[in-house]
Amino acid sequence: MTDFPLDLFNAWYAEARQSEVNDSNAMALSTVDTVGQPSCRMVLLKGHDERGFTFYTNLESRKAGDILATPKAALLFHWKSLRRQIRIEGGLSRVSDAEGDAYFATRSRASQLGAWASDQSRPLPDRATFEQRFADMERRFEGRDVPRPPHWSGYRVVPNRIEFWQDRAHRLHERRLFTRNEDGWREGLLYP
């Protein structure tokens, strides 16, 4: 048995925050739809703790539809400058409204307005349509705070499997695998 591998994640993540020039919190998120078609995209990690790894999105987006159909996901952090990656797999849960509101309040005003203006993942006839919708939201919320839209919130990936991969010479990489069962976390190694 071992403790949740959060300490190791925190150490690697802190190093990545120092070494990665752009978006050290970027992670690939993979989901699966109702017919088993996988989809992968980059999202940003916006929080993590012993409960899991949190990102935010439009709840009417393709990814949210996938999550509703199949509430499981995989994450991948790849920090090329460190020659490391972390793979995370697990179930998904929605963050609370209070958590969603608190994070939304930290976003730039333009990002808040964009959340109202965008029908994420839906067809867009032209860029001018989106820009007009954004301008409409600027007018709608002029002189007041922008509340979190009801169709926008976050999800937490609740991990049951976390793999830490470290590049080594001659492709003799190190792979540490943490798996969770009813008794807690177990640690093991994988062949490279």
DSSP state of 96: P
The CATH code of the domain that includes 38 is: 2.30.110.10
Question: Is the predicted pLDDT of residue 115 greater than 80, yes or no?
Answer: yes
pLDDT tens digits, residue range 22-73? 999 999 999 999 999 999 999 999 999 999 999 999 999 999 999 999 999 9
Q: Is position 1 within any domain?
A: no
Tally of domains within the chain: 1
Q: Is position 165 within any domain?
A: yes
Domain containing 164 equals 6-107+150-190
Residue among 66, 38, 50 at smallest CA distance from 4: 50
pLDDT tens digits, residue range 26-36? 999 999 999 99
* pLDDT band per the 50, 70, 90 thresholds, residue 3: low
Q: Is position 117 within any domain?
A: no
Q: Is position 54 within any domain?
A: yes
Q: Is position 118 within any domain?
A: no
Q: Is position 119 within any domain?
A: no
Say what the pTM is: 0.93
Which of 171, 176, 180, 186 is flagged as catalytic?
171
Residue 136 half-sphere exposure toward CB, CA atoms < 13 A: 10
Mean pLDDT of the chain: 95
Whether 171 sits among the annotated catalytic residues: the reply is yes
